[in-house]
Amino acid sequence: MIALVDVNNFYVSCERLFNKRIQNKPVVVLSNNDGCIISRSDEAKKIGIKMGMPFFKAKKLITEHNVTVYSSNYPLYADLSGRVMNFLNQYSVDQEVYSIDECFLKLNQQEYLDYGYSIRYEVFKNLGLPVCVGIGKTKTLAKLANYIAKKYNVYEGVVSFEGPYRKDLEQIMIETSISNLWGVGGRLTKKINELGIYSIWELKLANPKWIKQLFGINIERMVYELNGVSCYPVTSKKLPQKQIICSRSFGQKIRDFKSMADALITFVQKASLKLRTQGLQTNQVFIFIRNNRFAEKRLIENSITMRCEYYTNDSRILNRLVIEGLKKIYKNDIDYHKAGIILGNLKESFGVNYDYSKEVAESKLIDTLDAINRKYAKDMIVSGWQNKNPLWGMKQLNKSKRYTTSWNELLEVG
């Protein structure tokens, strides 16, 4: 059996953990630069605030219902996510972290419902975050069970397709649209609806070979999984990344080369740290810079791929590549709105690529810099191109403190 454990309204729950005054009140969390709504409390959903809704369009509802608004606080969310996943690891030797707020667990116990309630209780007791648990023979059924656990309060946050409510769950499948299935979007829903298949139950009863001919192997596997035949086993082994992307829309427009270089080098620092953490190297950097096509009514995007003669994860070498590439594509008199880098052609870090003595010395230097930044602050030592308080930084007018990752922002109790 497989369990999917998912933190309810994750970003909102993280904020509520440190501000008890917003419990049971409408709360929303905004995306980068306070652009769109990316997390909502149940109370905010009930007053009509939609997922992905632009902030400016929601302002009337927010004012009328006194909604608490937060900017994204990614350091806080990432730290709490790590705590949740580490805590859940004790419940199974096979844990697959699926996203920042959910993971699959392979269960060997027989009392699945009791085990699910135990997980829910212990996570809240130890970490203060509410979770729902969906249990089924396959990932698709576990995901569906989790959806039902969130939607129907009668199940108290835990649903198992092998439990006493099996007949009730079959009725829910009859009444629930296929659009609520894992991986089924709006376009695919319409195509499947054209065949007279509207509910999850109807898709479950469809001929998988016929479905494969029409929609491909992924939907065929979905039909099998709905019938309890596992096509996607739980695996704790992480697949090697094919690329590392670091990009951002700016809080305000960039109109000078130095500020753009500052932004791109900051991205390199983050991406190269990920390389070293994951034991990877690259010999290729893709760079892009673009304006705001909505504000300017036309897209101006310049890009270039820069290559190194050997593989590396040294941020200084990658910095030089990026500056060299930026000089070739940067144009004056353009209001740049977004930029980013993509590290591609990744491989594991082993072997020697060039002069051994030089590589060892430079590797020790980079390791030392990483150790200092880990111990004191992530930006204690930075590149000379970087500004610690850049003008292009994200617009975060309602950001909470980094309660768990900064000594200067610990929660104060009066």
Query: DSSP readout, 267-336?
Result: HHHHHHHHHHHTTEEEEEEEEEEEE-HHHHSS--EEEEEEEEEEEE--HHHHHHHHHHHHHHH--SS--E
For residue 177, give both structure tokens.
Answer: 């649209």
Judge contact between 234 and 139, C-beta under 8 A.
yes
For residue 342, give both structure tokens.
Answer: 């993509």
What is the distance between the alpha carbons of residues 86 and 1, in angstroms, rounded to a whole number?
21
SS3 breakdown of the chain: % helix, strand, coil, rounded to 5?
45, 20, 35
Question: What pLDDT shows up at residue 398?
Answer: 86
DSSP-derived 3-state class of residue 388 = coil
Judge contact between 371 and 238, C-beta under 8 A.
no
Q: How confident is the model at residue 370 (pLDDT cuts 50, 70, 90)?
A: confident
Environment class of 58 (CB within 10 Å of its CB; exposed 0-12, middle 13-18, buried 19+): buried
**What is the chain's alpha carbon radius of gyration, rounded to the nearest angstrom?**
24
Q: Confirm whether 2-160 and 244-375 share one CATH topology.
A: no
Q: Which CATH class name applies to 2-160?
A: alpha beta
pLDDT per position as a tens digit, 74-106: 999 999 999 999 999 999 889 999 999 999 999
Question: What pLDDT shows up at residue 357?
Answer: 45
Q: How confident is the model at residue 358 (pLDDT cuts 50, 70, 90)?
A: low
What is the distance between the alpha carbons of residues 53 and 37, in angstroms, rounded to a whole number?
5
Domain residue ranges in the chain: 2-160, 244-375
pLDDT per position as a tens digit, 197-243: 999 999 999 999 999 999 999 999 999 999 999 999 998 777 677 89
For residue 171, give both structure tokens.
Answer: 């009725």
Question: What pLDDT shows up at residue 49?
Answer: 95
* pLDDT mean over 351-371: 61
Judge contact between 174 and 226, C-beta under 8 A.
no
Judge contact between 336 and 303, C-beta under 8 A.
no
For residue 253, give both structure tokens.
Answer: 């427009």
Least confident interval from 283-287, 346-350, 403-407: 346-350
Judge contact between 16 and 10, C-beta under 8 A.
no
For residue 392, give both structure tokens.
Answer: 């292009």
Look up the CATH number of domain 244-375.
3.30.1490.100
Which is it for strands 37-40 and 27-30: parallel, antiparallel or unpaired?
A: antiparallel
Beta strands in 222-279 (DSSP E): 244-254
DSSP state for residue 199 in the 8-state scheme: B
C-alpha angle 89/95/97, rounded to 5°? Answer: 100
What is the distance between the alpha carbons of residues 301 and 289, in angstroms, rounded to a whole number?
6
For residue 391, give both structure tokens.
Answer: 């003008």
Place of tokens 């991205």: 267
pLDDT per position as a tens digit, 291-349: 987 766 778 889 999 999 889 999 889 999 999 999 999 998 889 999 999 999 998 87
Q: Angle between the 112-127 and 74-88 helix axes, to the nearest 10 degrees?
A: 140
